[in-house]
Amino acid sequence: MKNWIKIDQPNIDEVNSLQMDLKIPHFICSLLLQRDINSLDKAKLFFRPELDSLHDPYLMKDMKKAIVRINNALGEKIMILGDYDVDGTTSTSMLFTYFSHRNYDLLYYIPDRYKEGYGVSLGSIDYAKDNNISLIITVDCGIKAVNQVEYANSNGIDIIICDHHLPDNKVPEAYAVLNPKQSNCTYPFKDLCGCGIAYKLITAHNLKSENKLNIRSLLDFVALATVSDMMPLIDENRVMVFHGLKEINNNPRLGIRNFLKSNNNKVDESKISFNIGPRINAAGRMKNGKIIVDLLVEKDPNKAMSLSNEVEFLNLKRRATEKDVFENVAEKIDYSKYSNIFYGPNWSTGVLGIVASRVIEKSYKPTIILTDFNENLLIGSIRSVSGFDVYDALVKCEKYLYQFGGHKFAAGLKIEKSKLDIFSQNFEKVVKKSVNGNMFERKHKYDLEVSFSDLTIENVKIISRMSPFGLENKRPIFRSDNCEIIDDLTFVGKESQIVKSYIIDSSNTKLPFIAFSKKDELVNLKSSFNILFTISINSYSGKEQVEITIKEISFN
């Protein structure tokens, strides 16, 4: 249990004060204070997020300039250019949907992952030139496209950039740049995703239009993108995801309706993360993200069905490819090393990042997965663990690299084949030198110790209203000690790896549980044990009951 770390607890007087105001259990007040909800007014906004609380879009640098240019573009041809992931494809679909209703002459462009790579390519500018485009709006890309924007300018094409990635020192000389992370942008919330910024553009345009459109209906796009891009679910993000999930559940868009058939319950943020998001990403990983935009803007049910079937096929292909690469890699892990670096000549570049993340689940240390890019170059994805900056590690090895980019937890790289061995040796040295104590031992943080007796349906419903959960508003994790299983174990799932049964704690309260990755520990139990867990309301059988999901197990 040395790796079980309790989150810093609020002052007891603050907890008591908040409890007097809110009239809810003490332990829930502690959870709220951990999230900086320290007053009745803040609690009202937290539990009932209002769209009126969103910031004025005109606070964003260049927003007025962008709207003037778009208003002057009626009668011109506009191209929306987005990245091939969830954020890029939903942003493109959303802008296309909105401006189509405004009778603009539009087309959209999603770069080919394999032929063009990420972002704005010179080829995309040539495509715009060949199609008489005079204005390009980029979404989820463009902030580093200095040369490409210069090329567009030289061809009489204006560009409005909507991007959320960190700018370099030199920002492209575009007609307008919408990015709150610019050093000279005073917009109060810096952590919007690309689709969030595109929504602010739409909001700004709608505010200045005589006939207002119902743009709330577009928040489903923002919810999909914000959750899939793992943006912090605070401030504007939480408000937009909250209302976007309502749109998905109450009036699902034709293009995503077929993705929801496997969901018996309502769609929440976890269903986006593990069900819808991966399906959308699969198209860009295995073929081309344009299929997703085609699907999300399609109005014909038969065509939408055909496109969603194609996406489902690509997702199955992605899963099979990912499984093959992971199994190939997993058997080669050297647990004595400080890093994992694996190369395979025929692996799909579309699954390298996913496989790297899965390897980290098995072997908790920085991981690089590489495959052939061409005859001379390898291309790879790198993922890190908490506390280790892989981008900084790549900087220290840059003399061996052909190209790289990314951030502290994830990056991409290209390297000459002939330099792989020497790079691997030096990267291992850099990681080894950087290791502090038990950095590569997985740590598990939890919010509170609770008694099962406090986990009533009423209390769990209050906690569930703290959703949507995600980065900076994580689903609460609880601890309970001296637990015992009091019924036979049931095994479900394709490989019978999921375990279900009933459990009691020291309060002698009985609750059903489910565990997705603890089969070996549960089968071999010989004494009482301690658990970290999350809670939810299970209403699958038509009857509501509290269910716990076991995350970690330790023994007394």
Assess whether 308 and 372 both reside in one domain: no
CATH number at residue 278: 3.90.1640.30
Assess whether 133 and 233 both reside in one domain: yes
| Nearest CA among 334, 354, 348, 328 for reference residue 287 | 348
What is the pLDDT, as a whole number, of residue 2?
Answer: 62
What is the pLDDT, as a whole number, of residue 440?
Answer: 76
Buried (b) or exposed (e) across 330-341, using 16+ Cβ within 10 A? eeeeeeeebbbb
Residue span of the structural domain in which 549 resides: 444-555
Residue stretches of the chain with pLDDT short of 70: 1-2, 261-265, 436-439, 541, 556
Tracing tokens 């943006």 back to the chain, one arrives at 231
DSSP states along 306-372: HHHHHHHHHHHHHHHHHHHHHHHHHTT--TTSSSEEEE-TT--GGGHHHHHHHHHHHS-S-EEEEEE
CATH number at residue 529: 2.40.50.140
Cα–Cα–Cα angle for 460, 54, 221, rounded to 5 degrees? 75
Q: How far is CA 356 from the centre of its chain?
A: 16
Assess whether 267 and 288 both reside in one domain: yes
Assess whether 114 and 145 both reside in one domain: yes
How far, in Å, CA of 191 to CA of 179, rounded?
A: 10
| Nearest CA among 81, 163, 161, 176 for reference residue 121 | 81
Q: Is residue 20 part of a domain?
A: no
Asked which of 284, 312, 340 is the last residue of a domain, the reply is 312
Assess whether 179 and 87 both reside in one domain: yes
Q: Is residue 6 part of a domain?
A: no
Assess whether 132 and 219 both reside in one domain: yes
- 339 to 325, 361, 365, 387: CA distances (angstroms): 18, 13, 6, 14
How far, in Å, CA of 58 to CA of 67, rounded?
A: 10
Q: 444-446 and 410-416: which strand pairing?
A: unpaired
The conformation of residue 188, written as its DSSP 8-state character, comes to: S
How far, in Å, CA of 13 to CA of 20, rounded?
A: 11
Assess whether 238 and 387 both reside in one domain: no
Q: Write out the E strands in 72-223.
A: 77-82, 105-109, 135-139, 158-162, 176-178
Q: Tens of pLDDT along 2-52?
A: 689 999 999 999 999 999 999 999 999 999 999 999 999 999 999 999 999
Q: Is residue 45 part of a domain?
A: no
Asked which of 434, 467, 484 is the last residue of a domain, the reply is 434
What is the pLDDT, as a whole number, of residue 264?
Answer: 59
Q: Is residue 240 part of a domain?
A: yes
Q: Is residue 342 part of a domain?
A: yes
Q: Is residue 307 part of a domain?
A: yes
125 burial type by CB count under 10 A (0-12 exposed, 13-18 middle, 19+ buried): buried
Q: Tens of pLDDT along 125-145?
A: 999 999 999 999 999 999 989
Q: Is residue 278 part of a domain?
A: yes
What is the pLDDT, as a whole number, of residue 166?
Answer: 83
Assess whether 226 and 84 both reside in one domain: yes
Buried (b) or exposed (e) across 153-186, using 16+ Cβ within 10 A? beeebbbbbbbbbebeeebbebbbbbbbebeebe
Assess whether 355 and 503 both reside in one domain: no
Asked which of 434, 465, 496 is the last residue of a domain, the reply is 434
The radius of gyration computed from the CA coordinates of the chain, to the nearest angstrom, equals 25
At 282, give phi and psi (nearest 5°): -60, -35
Q: How many domains does the chain have?
A: 3
Assess whether 141 and 189 both reside in one domain: yes
| Nearest CA among 87, 91, 141, 148 for reference residue 118 | 141
Assess whether 124 and 260 both reside in one domain: yes
What is the pLDDT, as a whole number, of residue 165?
Answer: 87
Q: Is residue 12 part of a domain?
A: no
Assess whether 201 and 260 both reside in one domain: yes
- 208 to 70, 185, 261, 477: CA distances (angstroms): 12, 21, 39, 45
CATH number at residue 382: 3.10.310.30
